[in-house]
Amino acid sequence: MMRNSSLSLKFTEVCLRDGSHVMSHQFTEKQVYDAAKSLDEAGMHYIEVSHGDGLGGSTLQYGRSLVDEMKLIETAAGVCKHAKVAVLLIPGIGTVHELKKAHELGASLVRVATHVTEADVSAQHIHMARELGMDVFGFLMMAHSAPVEKLVEQAKLMESYGAQGVYVTDSAGALLPFEVKDRISALRESLNIEIGFHAHNNLSVAVANTLVAIEEGATRIDGSVRCLGAGAGNTQTEVLIAVLERMGVETGIDLYKMMDLAEDVIGPMLPGAQEIRKGSLAMGYAGVYSSFLLHAERAGKRFGVDSRDILIELGKRKAVGGQEDLILEVAAGLAKSKLEV
């Protein structure tokens, strides 16, 4: 039994936000209604609903949503009797205007997400969320790309702004278990607020990484049913719940209902199997933002280059979320170099 088994874990299901990338942001109201209803009945604690790139993400650069995210938030909030609706906000993409609107429609938790070295841009949004009476957590993306000391420094900034917790966010699915251990334990020693962990499964270690995070003191945990999340998906929620139950950790979430949801509700939505294919594996290997996968595959076809080469080059350039326009630049450059050979 893990050391942290007596602590109260809170789970956030991200399939209706992170999974938006897989769906090319084409979720329908019915899909959100059915998924949120089933998650609520299974006992899920929080359900994150918004564009894959957070509030305000429905743009030409990031991908237009089929249905306005505010309508999807309202739909989820309206059907949930127990679960709370969460949203993601990336400063520079989303604004306090979208945050206020989401709160009015029923969102009670916001994760304010920044690159791991840019926590200072989160202050305004964290302050506003607290003024609105929302729960607010910092979300330090691409956590593999900075030294542990820098991660701690940035997390402490978010704590000083009023965040009630900070997530170590493995956006690229690049962290290995010992690296998760180092990061979570360092935050646990340095902060007086909750620690969260958000994994991606590009190197097939999301469940293992999440277990290490819990062992080291993380109490806020993310997962995506049927791995419906960017890249190879996130920690597969129903699998994690099963593993934790085997370890004697109480989650308060109904395992059978989660299994049924994964099979009967989420499965039919998937445009294809969520598995570790060459693109997602290349992202984890190169340490590239997981939502870049579809953009890189499309750019590869357009310019006649291998999408893996695009991803590897993006990793070398240390590209971060919000730099989707760089994908086309890299693809064009690789195509030009190919012609010159």
pLDDT computed for residue 4 by the predictor: 46
Is 17 labeled as ligand-binding? yes
- What are 101-125's pLDDT values in tens digits? 999 999 999 999 999 999 999 999 9
Instruction: Using the predicted structure, report yes or no on whether residue 340 has a pLDDT greater than 80.
Output: no
For the residues 257-270, what does the mean pLDDT come to?
Answer: 97
Q: What is the pLDDT of residues 277-305, one digit of tens each?
A: 998 899 899 898 877 888 898 999 999 99
Provide the 10 A C-beta neighbour count for residue 185: 18
Sign of CA dihedral 81, 102, 136, 221: positive
Strand 194-198 to 10-13 pairing: unpaired
Window from 188-192, 227-231, 299-303, 324-328 with minimum mean pLDDT: 324-328
- Per-residue confidence (pLDDT) for residue 96, from 0 to 100: 96
pLDDT grade, residue 1 (50/70/90)?
Answer: very low
DSSP codes joined into one string, 122-173: GHHHHHHHHHHT-EEEEEEESGGGS-HHHHHHHHHHHHHHT-SEEEEE-TTS
- Is 161 assigned to a binding site? no
Instruction: Delimit the CATH 3.20.20.70 region(s) of the chain.
Output: 10-268
Task: Answer yes or no: 82 catalytic.
Answer: no
pLDDT of residue 36: 98
Q: Is 61 in a helix, a strand, or coil?
A: coil
pLDDT at 38 over 70: yes
- Mean pLDDT is lowest, of 6-10, 132-136, 141-145, 294-298, for 6-10
Kindly give, in sequence order, each residue whose CB lies less than 8 Å from that of residue 216, ignoring residues fewer than 6 positions away.
Answer: 4, 180, 181, 184, 185, 188
Q: In the predicted model, is pLDDT for residue 7 greater than 70?
A: no
Q: What is the pLDDT of residue 261?
A: 98
Q: Per-residue pLDDT for 238 more than 50?
A: yes
- The pLDDT value recorded for residue 319 is 81
Query: What does the pLDDT average to over 179-185?
Result: 98
Q: Is 157 exposed, middle or buried (0-12, 13-18, 19+ CB in 10 A)?
A: buried
Mean pLDDT of the chain: 94
**Percentage with pLDDT > 90 across the chain:** 84
Quickly count: other Cβ atoms within 10 Å of residue 266's Cβ. Answer: 26
Residue 51 labeled ligand binder: no
> Token pair 């979320």 is at which residue?
321
What pLDDT, on a 0 to 100 scale, did the predictor assign at position 341? 57
Q: Is the CATH number of domain 291-340 1.10.8.60?
A: yes
Answer with the residue of higher pLDDT: 5 or 285: 285
Query: pLDDT per residue over 303-320, tens digit each?
Result: 999 999 999 998 888 887
Q: How much is the pLDDT for 268? A: 96
Phi-psi region of 67 (alpha: psi -120 to 50; beta: other; left: phi over 0): beta
**Given 3.40.50.11270, 3.40.50.300, 3.40.50.1260, 3.20.20.70, which CATH number is that of 10-268?**
3.20.20.70
Percent of the chain, pLDDT > 70?
97
Give the pLDDT mean for 39-43: 98
pLDDT at 30 over 90: yes
Cβ atoms 13, 223 nearer than 8 A? yes
Read off the pLDDT of each residue in 48-65 and give the average, rounded to a whole number.
Answer: 94
Residue 20 CA to residue 116 CA, distance in Å, equals 22
b (16+ CB within 10 A) / e for 66-80: ebebbebbbbbbebb
**198 assigned ligand-binding residue:** yes
Per annotation, catalytic residue among 21, 25, 115, 125: 21
127 assigned ligand-binding residue: no
Return the pLDDT at 41.
98
